[in-house]
Amino acid sequence: MQEVSLEGHQGRPAVIDLCHPCQAFWFDSHESLRLTPGSTLSLLRMIGERAAAPRSGGLDAATCPRCGARLQRTRDMQRTTRFEYLRCPNGHGRFTSFFEFLKEKDFVRPLTAQQIDELRQHVQTVNCSNCGGPVDLTRQAACGHCGSPLSMLDLKQAEKLVAQLQQAADLAAGREIRPVTAADRRRFLLAYLDLLQTEGVREPKGFRHRAGRVPEPGRAAGHDRWVIGKLRALVAWFTKGLEDGSRLRLAVNQAESMAALRDAIDEFFGE
pLDDT digits (tens, 9 = 90+) for 9-51: 877 888 999 998 888 999 998 888 888 888 888 888 888 777 6
Cross-strand bridge partners of residue 126: 135
Residue of 218 and 96 predicted with greater confidence = 96
Give the count of alpha carbons within 13 A of 138, CB side only. 3
Task: Render pLDDT for 193-248 as a digit per residue (tens, 0 to 9).
Answer: 887 776 554 444 443 444 444 444 454 557 788 888 888 888 887 787 788 889 99
Whole-model pTM? 0.56
Which residues make Cβ contacts (< 8 Å) with residue 253, sequence separation at least 6?
A: 232
Backbone phi, then psi, for 261, in 5-degree steps? -65, -45
Query: What are the angstrom distances between the C-alpha of 224 and each of 133, 192, 202, 209?
Result: 18, 14, 14, 16
Do residues 239 and 208 make contact, with C-beta atoms less than 8 angstroms apart? no
> Once rounded to an integer, what is the mean pLDDT over residues 150-176?
71
Mean pLDDT of the chain: 79
Give the separation between CA 164 and CA 177, rounded to whole angstroms. Answer: 10
The neighbouring-strand residues paired with 81 are 78
What residue segments make up the domains of the chain, in order of their start?
Answer: 1-106
Element (H, E) at 203: none
Q: For residue 156, what pLDDT is reported?
A: 62
Q: What pLDDT, on a 0 to 100 scale, did the predictor assign at position 158?
A: 67
